[in-house]
A and B are shown apart, each in its own frame.
Chain A
Amino acid sequence: MTAKPNAFSQYPDAQGRFGEFGGRYVAETLMPNILALEKAYEDAKADPAFTAEFEDFLKHYVGRPSPLYFAERLTDHFGGAQIWLKRDELNHTGAHKINNCLGQVLLAKRMGKTRIIAETGAGQHGVATATIAARFGLPCEVFMGATDVERQAPNVFRMKLLGAKVHAVKSGRGTLKDAMNEALRDWVTYPDETFYVIGTVAGPHPYPMMVRDFQSVIGREAREQMLERIGRLPDAAVACIGGGSNAMGLFHPFLEDENVRLIGVEAAGKGLDTPDHAASLNGGEPGILHGNRTYLLQDEGGQIVEGHSISAGLDYPGIGPEHAFLHDVKRAEYVSATDDEALEMFQLCSKLEGIIPALEPAHALARVRDLAVELDPDGVILMNMCGRGDKDVPQVARMLGVEV
């Protein structure tokens, strides 16, 4: 099957814009850095040696390609369309995050940067960055909200074990967005030697494009694997969305396949009709934060509001600008799932498939359930299982009233 050319995959433009979203909203101190990064990335992308090294490490270090798995028992249980899982939870470090960290750290090395920094919420991106930094012998500092440091002690220890320095960010409210503010402050202070590894498809241009490109290995593999296994493309590709890096990585190679529905699942927390959710597209408005124009959770005065989700990986108050664009031009659909639904799917997937999903993809599974019923049994759904649930076991046990 040949992809039908359309305009959706041609973005961003030269200004880093996806339609009216994206851009480079940073302080002047960082502008020269952002422009240099963009140029270095374009050069690297055009260099076969860079791509070869990236692919070699993806294969032998990360463990790609990740399998495409037919979830037969979930399919039977939901009683509708076939459910296929892209197993990115089997990657080294247990999530899709490492694909991007590998790409960015290789770029940092190529640019002669001597110091890696990253922000992290639950700690998955921090662990993945610390892992790759360790592999390449680069010092790594991770900014993590003080509240999260307390809640995610095992990941903090993992990062330290990997040789990273973890800064507990007390400024603001001590959450993921404050960690990102602090990482930006650090970058502004040490712009020459530092490479900032952003963990999602957000931030100033070229980050949304660059992170998407590195994560697109997910969708490229899945597209090929689908054709190889069942000789057709899926009817829908589904992924959970916080900042949106796993979803963008899955969606991008399918953008020109207009018969493939692309469905992103945001975190509805305690419900979209409550203040406690993290659904930027379904419950936010366009605004400017962390270097890009996108949908944001904000109040009537334009102040940023904290997101809430059972999943620390989804409670960011913004979303990648390319998702904002795909939402507005209606190429992708954005729905949501609540904390309770995610908790239910976490248990169901564990019992039926022997796969303990992270709470993030458990959100996606809740909408896969509806979609399976909506499509007829000939239908095919592809879902990215973007992370494994080991990290969530203590939290879920607590919520279920079990002592571990």
Chain B
Amino acid sequence: MNRLATTFARLKADNRAGFVTYIMAGDGETAELLDRLPAAGADVIELGMPFTDPMADGPSIQGAALRALDNGMTLKGTLALARAFRENHPDTPLVLMGYANPVHHMGYGAFARAAADAGVDGLICVDLPPEEDTELREALAAENISIIRLATPTTNNDRLKTVAEGSSGFVYYVSTTGVTGMGKGAATDVADAVKRVQTATGLPVAVGFGVRTPEEAAEIASGGADAVVVGSAIVSANHDGGTKTALELVRSISAAVRAAS
């Protein structure tokens, strides 16, 4: 059992939805922000790996990726941030999220070993659908790292089986067709979809893409999701007001999620 499984089991026992926070490695004071996220209420942390061509992301995260790259952030640097986080936080799951090319360039085996060494628990690779992730998935499995797959409103029940096969940790349900930060799907649709994905995959379901406010997060949490993911809003807060502003938002969303479920 890795930290993701432990965390989702604990959330289930506590009968509440989890809160997953996304930030971009290298955009602002990432080390400090990472260090303070668990105390502010993050149950799981997604750490973005910057890429020049983030084609599934909206303007907030695109901007963060380019700023991070301009700041000199690399995949190795991202792994170093993860390792530093892990030294002080033995229990909070850390998931890397990004695009395939930098990982492919490092080599799947080398990446899996380095990620395990840095205490990483899972990987979300946006442009690696199940059809293309076998080699990476096997390399990660050897290191007990989960590959977390995406399901979307366009993923029908047949495909959900494909999505479930070989994935672990949780399923990331993209609540709307579109890019990150665009606005969420209708709450009832999302609640229905969450049930559908939970049933088909047997995995916890985290809902994201376009959840921006405490109210929206609470609505998703009370709709049966196992966790709510907030990314673009935290990234924007961090860019506009720095670590303090980002943490304030995290605390308010965390409180709303806990109250809702």
Residues on A lying within 8 angstroms of B by beta carbon are 15, 23-33, 171-172, 177-178, 180-181, 184-185, 188-191, 285-291, 293, 296, 298, 301-304
Q: Is B154 within 8 A of A189, CB to CB?
A: no
Shortest Cβ distance from B75 into A: residue? A301
Q: Is B163 within 8 A of A28, CB to CB?
A: yes
Q: Which of A25, A28, A184 contacts B174 (CB 8 A)?
A: A28
Contact of B156 with A by CB under 8 A: yes
Contact of B127 with A by CB under 8 A: yes
Q: Is B174 within 8 A of A302, CB to CB?
A: no
In angstroms, how far is the closest chain B Cβ from the Cβ of A318? 10
Q: Is B101 within 8 A of A189, CB to CB?
A: no
In angstroms, how far is the closest chain B Cβ from the Cβ of A319? 15
Q: Do A28 and B178 form a contact, CB below 8 Å, given A288-B101, A302-B101?
A: no
Residues in B whose Cβ lies below 8 Å from that of A293: 104
Q: Do A301 and B76 form a contact, CB below 8 Å, given A28-B150, A287-B105?
A: yes
Q: What separation, in Å, do the CA atoms of A293 and B127 have in the docked complex?
A: 11
Shortest Cβ distance from B100 into A: residue? A288
In angstroms, how far is the closest chain A Cβ from the Cβ of B223? 20
In angstroms, how far is the closest chain B Cβ from the Cβ of A370? 34
Query: Beta-carbon contacts of B97-112 to A below 8 Å, as 1s and 0s?
Result: 0011111111000000
Q: Do A29 and B59 form a contact, CB below 8 Å, given A296-B101, A303-B102, A304-B52?
A: no
A contacts with B: majority SS: mixed
If A28-B151, A185-B178, A302-B105 are given as contacts, then 9 extra A-B residue pairs at C-beta distance below 8 Å, sorted by A number, are: A23-B132, A25-B129, A28-B174, A29-B150, A188-B56, A289-B101, A290-B55, A301-B76, A304-B101
Residues in B whose Cβ lies below 8 Å from that of A190: 177
Contact of B74 with A by CB under 8 A: yes
Residues in B whose Cβ lies below 8 Å from that of A304: 51-53, 101
Top 3 A-B residue pairs of the complex, sorted by shortest distance between their CB atoms: A302-B105, A302-B102, A189-B178
Residues in B whose Cβ lies below 8 Å from that of A178: 53
Residues on B lying within 8 angstroms of A by beta carbon are 51-56, 58-59, 62, 66, 69, 74-76, 99-106, 126-129, 131-132, 149-156, 159, 163, 174, 177-179, 182
Q: What separation, in Å, do the CA atoms of A287 and B103 have in the docked complex?
A: 10
Q: Can you give 12 A-B contacts (C-beta < 8 A)?
A: A25-B100, A25-B129, A28-B129, A29-B152, A29-B153, A31-B131, A181-B53, A181-B54, A185-B179, A188-B178, A286-B104, A298-B101
Residues in A whose Cβ lies below 8 Å from that of B179: 185, 188-189
Residues in A whose Cβ lies below 8 Å from that of B56: 27, 29, 184-185, 188
Q: What separation, in Å, do the CA atoms of A30 and B152 have in the docked complex?
A: 9
Q: Is A32 within 8 A of B155, CB to CB?
A: yes
Q: Is B154 within 8 A of A32, CB to CB?
A: yes
Q: What separation, in Å, do the CA atoms of A180 and B52 have in the docked complex?
A: 13
Q: Do A288 and B127 form a contact, CB below 8 Å, given A184-B55, A185-B179, A303-B51?
A: yes
Q: What separation, in Å, do the CA atoms of A180 and B152 have in the docked complex?
A: 22
Residues in B whose Cβ lies below 8 Å from that of A290: 53, 55
Residues in A whose Cβ lies below 8 Å from that of B54: 181
Q: Is B155 within 8 A of A289, CB to CB?
A: no
Q: Is A303 within 8 A of B132, CB to CB?
A: no
Interface centre among A25, A293, A301 (most CB of B within 10 A): A301
Q: Is A172 within 8 A of B53, CB to CB?
A: yes
In angstroms, how far is the closest chain B Cβ from the Cβ of A97? 23
Shortest Cβ distance from B155 into A: residue? A28
Q: What separation, in Å, do the CA atoms of A181 and B151 have in the docked complex?
A: 21
Residues in A whose Cβ lies below 8 Å from that of B66: 172
Residues in B whose Cβ lies below 8 Å from that of A171: 59, 62
Q: What separation, in Å, do the CA atoms of A285 and B106 have in the docked complex?
A: 12
Residues in B whose Cβ lies below 8 Å from that of A27: 55-56, 126-127, 129, 150, 152
